[in-house]
Each structure stands twice: as C-alpha cells, then as structure tokens.
C-alpha cells in the first residue's frame, strides 16, 4: 500500500473551492515536489495532508502505519516566528512534543535524537544560541532539525528556501536531498524553484487554477506540455534530454565522459565548414549515384562501384561520421 494516497481530493474556504480533484500517491522514499503558480492551493494541500484542513470532497489515505502526528512539518515562517525567544536546542526538541503524551519531560532517547539531528544539519555548535539571533539560513536548518525530530516516515516542507540567499538555498537543498537518500524518509516539498525540483525530486505534482495539471516522474514532467507551457522560453528544449552535449548548447549532467554517439562525432568547432561540406557533398553524391550518375570528381563513384561494404540503401563506405548525426550537431 502507498504511504499516502489522495483520491478526488478538494479543499474550499467559505464554500469557495480553491483546489479540486487531486489524485496522486506517494510511496516510501519518494521525493515529491509540488509546483505551480501562486494561488493554486499548494499550501492548502499541505495543511490538508497534516489534517489541519478538512477536505470539502475526497479523502486522504495513509498507509504503512503512518499517522498525522508522526509527520515532520517545516512551514513558511512569519516575522513573529523569526523572533521566537528560545534557544536552538529548545526549538529542535519541541519537535518531539507530539509523541510525549502527558509526560512533562523529554526522555533520554528524545534528547539524543535532537542532538543527532542538530549534528547532521551542522548546528550543534549553535544549540545554546537564541533562535532569533540566527541568520535566515540557520533558522531554516533549525526548523528542519525540529521537523526531523517529529518525522517517522514523512516530512512536509512548505517553500523552505523562501527568502534565503543562493548559498544558503543550495546548502538547504543539499541537506534535504541527503535526508531523503540516506534515511529513506519521504519528502513532500512545495517549491517555486523548478530547476531545483527537477534536480532533486523523483516525482512532480503541478497544480494550476484549473486544478491538478500533472503528476508523474520528473523525466515525464520534463517532456510534458505542462512544463513547457509553464516556463515558456526558460524551459529546457526536449531534445536536450536526448542530446545533452550538443555543440554550443551543452546541458549539465552527472558524467563528463562522452557517450558512444558523442565519441563518434566529436570534432573541434574549427572544422565546422569541413563538416558542412562533407554533409552536403555526401548527400549530393548519394543522390547522383542513386540516379546512375557519377559522383563529383569520379573518385567517390569509383569507390562505391568497387566496394562491397557500402551500407544498405545509404551508399556509405563506412568511413567518416554519419552525416545524419552531423546534421544534429550543425543545427
């Protein structure tokens, strides 16, 4: 059974529906990013998953023994919350409150868990510092450590990098990805950062004013019309996912080693004119030979006539790069 499953889920405020007919599921270990324009109901959905907002229709099913009180949550911060007068250690420990019941004190196991999370997020040296004296990036790491204390299998993040500088943003994204990969905790994150979502997430849920526009893997999302319509000219062209190192427009990828196709066609940019001549000359030669006429200069025609290794239907001798591949490079 899925860790979380939503069927025909809708939410409304004062009788006005803000998001409707959501249908998606989340498995253990998934990293789901919820994206879309402002006002599409992303934060409302997060509140619904936490049982803080009652659905107007549909339902949310939790499997694998998951309970709403065992979900870690990092909300959007208000200015008042940023000025909260408590130490870092106290804020992180408060993530254990839901499991304490009527106990008035934290257990040794809960204190150890808080310490482990502070150490993992590199804020252990700040444990006695007042929360409101921290930078924005440090505060977000504290709240993430707090959410980790509450989380058993699932953590919800509502725009966790909002207001952070690029360095703090990259650091927090890396820590969230590390938590997902190393601990296996499922992550559901609301984000406006499409590039980071496509880099880190395993699945994408795209919401719009019309409701759910897309749900699927990140690779499926890259190839969807929803992605290209949403980003417009900023969208990475679909061919880049098939030809990541096309000359002049290289797209980043994990490996710097050339693929088999790239090894066959990689040449210096100074040879572009020669390649163009090769492509045009080879094409004309094949066309003329197909009509029974000799190739320009007679040389190619003699080689073709005396060779038994020409490609079927193509007239190629097997020497030199494939002109069709060269066309992709020269476009």
Q: Give the burial class of 330: count Cβ atoms within 10 A of its Cβ; 0-12 exposed, 13-18 middle, 19 or more buried.
A: middle
> What is the CATH T-level fold of the domain 4-241, as seen in this structure?
Rossmann fold (3.40.50)
pLDDT reported for residue 278: 47
Structural contact between residues 98 and 69, judged by C-beta atoms closer than 8 angstroms: yes
* Mean pLDDT, the chain, integer: 78
DSSP state letter for 19: E
The mean per-residue pLDDT over the stretch 271-276 comes to 43
pLDDT reported for residue 103: 85
Confidence of residue 264 (pLDDT cuts 50, 70, 90): very low
Please state the φ and ψ torsions of residue 298, each to the nearest 5 degrees. 80, -20
Q: In this structure, what token pair is assigned to residue 324?
A: 């069709």
What is this structure's pTM? Answer: 0.69
Over pLDDT 70: what percentage of the chain?
Answer: 70
Each domain of the chain, given as residue ranges in start order, spans: 4-241, 264-301+315-330
Confidence of residue 237 (pLDDT cuts 50, 70, 90): low
The mean per-residue pLDDT over the stretch 75-95 comes to 87
**Strand spans (E) along the chain:** 4-13, 16-26, 31-36, 57-62, 71-74, 154-158, 186-190, 203-208, 211-217
pLDDT reported for residue 69: 78
pLDDT reported for residue 81: 76
pLDDT reported for residue 102: 81
Please state the φ and ψ torsions of residue 63, each to the nearest 5 degrees. -110, -175
Distance CA(236)–CA(246), nearest Å, equals: 13
pLDDT reported for residue 77: 78
pLDDT reported for residue 329: 53
Please state the three-class secondary structure of 223-257 as a single string.
Answer: CCHHHHHHHHHHCCCHHHHCCCCCCCCCCCCCCCC
pLDDT at 124 over 80: yes
pLDDT reported for residue 27: 93
Q: Are strands 71-74 and 154-158 parallel, antiparallel or unpaired?
A: parallel
pLDDT at 248 over 50: no
pLDDT reported for residue 323: 59
Residues pairing with 208 in the sheet: 211
pLDDT at 285 over 90: no
The DSSP string of 280-300 is HHHHHHHHHHHTTPPPTTTHH
Which has more pLDDT, 238 or 300?
238
The mean per-residue pLDDT over the stretch 28-47 comes to 92
Structural contact between residues 236 and 294, judged by C-beta atoms closer than 8 angstroms: no
């Amino acid at each position: 059974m899925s860790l979380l499953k939503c069927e025909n889920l809708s939410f409304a405020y004062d009788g006005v529906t803000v998001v409707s007919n959501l249908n998606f599921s989340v498995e253990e270990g998934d990293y789901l990013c919820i994206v879309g324009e402002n006002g599409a109901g992303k934060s409302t959905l997060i509140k619904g998953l936490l049982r803080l907002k009652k659905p107007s229709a549909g339902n949310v099913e939790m499997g694998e023994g998951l309970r709403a009180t065992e979900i870690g949550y990092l909300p959007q911060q208000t200015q008042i919350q940023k000025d909260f007068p408590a130490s870092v250690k106290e804020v992180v420990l408060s993530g254990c409150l839901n499991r304490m019941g009527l106990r008035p004190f934290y257990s040794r196991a809960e204190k150890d868990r808080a310490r482990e999370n502070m150490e993992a997020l590199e804020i252990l040296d700040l444990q006695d510092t007042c929360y409101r004296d921290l930078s924005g990036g440090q505060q977000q790491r504290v709240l993430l450590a707090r959410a980790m204390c509450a989380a058993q299998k699932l953590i919800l993040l509502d725009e966790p990098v909002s207001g952070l500088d690029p360095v703090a943003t990259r650091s927090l994204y890396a820590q969230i990805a590390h938590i997902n990969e190393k601990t296996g905790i499922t992550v559901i994150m609301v984000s406006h950062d499409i590039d980071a979502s496509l880099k880190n997430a395993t699945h994408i849920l795209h919401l719009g004013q019309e409701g759910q526009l897309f749900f699927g893997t990140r690779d499926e999302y890259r190839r969807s019309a929803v992605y290209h319509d949403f980003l417009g000219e900023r969208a990475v062209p679909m061919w880049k996912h098939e030809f990541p190192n096309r000359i002049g427009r290289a797209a980043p990828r994990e490996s710097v080693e050339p693929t088999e196709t790239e090894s066959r066609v990689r040449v210096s940019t100074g040879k572009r004119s020669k390649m163009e001549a090769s492509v045009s000359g080879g094409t004309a030669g094949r066309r003329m030979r197909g009509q029974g006429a000799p190739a320009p200069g007679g040389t190619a025609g003699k080689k073709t006539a005396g060779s038994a290794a020409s490609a079927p239907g193509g007239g190629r001798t097997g020497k030199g790069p494939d002109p069709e591949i060269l066309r992709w490079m020269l476009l």
